[in-house]
Amino acid sequence: MQIVSENACFGGVQGVYTHSSDACNCDMTFGLFQPAEAKDGPVPVLWYLSGLTCTHENAMTKAGAQAWAAEQGIALVFPDTSPRGDGVANDEAYDLGQGAGFYVNATQDPWAPHFKMWDYVAEELPNLITSDFAIDADRQAITGHSMGGHGALTLAMNLPGRYKSVSAFSPICNPTASDWGRKQLSAYLGDDESTWAAHDASLLMREKGFEGPILTDTGTNDQFGDLLKTESLFEASAARRQQATLRMQPGYDHSYFFVSTFMEDHVTFHAEALYTG
């Protein structure tokens, strides 16, 4: 692992690191904020998964999460959204290929050799950060925005016991029924739609649910509302009687102005679960 940068930030350290990934078969980059408490021992961690077109850097610089994480003594991890490099497959469209890994393990060519973002986020990167940094592997929570909200919800429901809490900002809730999902899932996983269900938060909610608290926020003026299928998650949560706070925020859109507005709520929500759950 190599240090790209480390900067003092709210009494802690905001770092950027690269490493050779076995899962993605290329070099990967991630951001990690360590609060001041990490100097004295392992701290809880909140994962933040970003959306389409993003890198590790978008939320790290725009979401304003470090101030609230420092207040709560929580580390933040900002993974990249896909493998990258000259030898990594890509597409001309913004919503497929590099920047659009969709947090799945691709089985189809040309994506399969590198696009193993599920294994990377679920296994490889957690093992790396808990072994090399002062991170408490038993106190993890996860959040994300848009495609990253999809990833956060699906990881949480597929990995029982891993995360104390899950939240999402304007998540893609029902990708098997949306153009933000059907295109990518067919490309990465093939035409057998039975393989897609494990990556659909609304279907997972009906089948499994989540054992801890859930929080989602979506803006009423979200320009991608038809693609997010927010109502599908609401209906599935109600049918399951899931413990969840699912909010529609009046006037907000899909941007990081929206995310940063409600970041304090989300970090505080996770802190309660991480310290008391």
pLDDT above 90 for 188: yes
Report, as an integer, the average pLDDT of 189-207: 97
Q: pLDDT by residue (tens digit) across 80-110? A: 999 999 999 999 999 999 999 999 999 999 9
Q: Which of 50, 146, 165, 178 is catalytic?
A: 146
Active site residue 260: no
Q: Taking the mean position of all CA atoms in its chain, how far away is CA 71? A: 21
Is residue 178 part of the annotated active site? The answer reads no
User: Percentage helix, strand, coil, to 5, in the chain?
Assistant: 40, 25, 35
Q: How far apart are CA 142 and CA 131, in angstroms?
A: 19
- Domains along the chain with CATH numbers: 2-275 (3.40.50.1820)
Catalytic residue among 114, 150, 254, 270: 254
Q: How far apart are CA 120 and CA 122, in angstroms?
A: 6
pLDDT score recorded for residue 193: 96
Selecting among 167, 222, 237, 266, the annotated active-site residue is 222
Q: Quickly state the pLDDT bin for 155 (edges 50, 70, 90).
A: very high
In 3D space, the residue among 153, 157, 117 whose CA is nearest the CA of residue 229 turns out to be 153
pLDDT band at 181 (very low <50, low <70, confident <90, very high): very high
Q: What is the pLDDT of residues 40-80, one digit of tens each?
A: 999 999 999 999 999 999 999 999 999 999 999 999 999 99
Respond yes or no: is residue 165 known to be catalytic.
Answer: no
Residue labelled with tokens 């299928």: 229
